Amino acid sequence: MADVWEGWERRDRPPALFRRFTFARYAQTREFLDALAAAGKACGLHPQNISFGTTYVNVTLEAADGDRLSAAEEAFAGQIAALAMAQAGTGR
């Protein structure tokens, strides 16, 4: 697996990963959002914030412990990126 942080922007205070995904159509955005919700439910993690419009989704993953991102949180970031790619989303 490639570095899960690839394409994500690291932010500190608190530690977080941020990434903007863009899609050609709302249908793809919707599919991605639904897949993201299902994936989060499966692993018990939820992004700290998701901000979306018809063709973009901004995702912020924050370290739940406020100190550093856990391996599970980093894996979730990788999973989210893969879900976006499945909808032909661009990660920037």
Q: How many residues bind a copy of itself (CB under 8 A)?
A: 13
State how far the Cα of 5 lies from the Cα of 8, in Å rounded to an integer: 5
Structure-token pair, residue 39: 């994936």
Instruction: Please name the residue ranges forming H helices in the chain.
Output: 26-43, 71-86
Taken as a whole, the chain contains a residue count of 92
Report which DSSP code applies to 56: E
State the amino acid at position 21 in one-letter form: F
Stretch of 7-15, 40-48, 68-76, 84-92 lying at the interface with a copy of itself (CB under 8 A): 40-48
* Shortest reach from residue 46's CB to a copy of itself, in Å: 5
Residue type, 27: A
Q: Which of 49, 82, 86, 90 binds a copy of itself (CB under 8 A)?
A: 49
Residue 42 interacts with a copy of itself (CB under 8 A)? Answer: no
Of these, 20, 39, 52, 85, which contacts a copy of itself (CB under 8 A)? 52
Q: Which residues bind a copy of itself (CB under 8 A)?
A: 26, 30, 33, 37, 46-54
